[in-house]
Amino acid sequence: MDRFALCRALEAARVPATSYEIADCPGRHLAADRYFLDGHEGDWSVGVHERGTRQVFERFTDEDAACRWIHDRLLGGEPPAAAPAPGVPAAPPPDPEALQRQADDDLEAALAELLRKATGKPGEKPPEGDGPP
Q: Which one has a higher pLDDT value, 28 or 131?
A: 28
pLDDT at 82: 44
Selection from 2, 12, 1 nearest residue 75 by Cα: 12
CA distances from 60 to 36, 42, 83, 98 (A): 13, 7, 26, 29
Q: Tens of pLDDT along 86-112?
A: 555 555 666 778 778 888 888 888 888
- How crowded is residue 36: how many other Cβ atoms within 10 Å of its Cβ? 20
Selection from 30, 25, 48 nearest residue 103 by Cα: 48
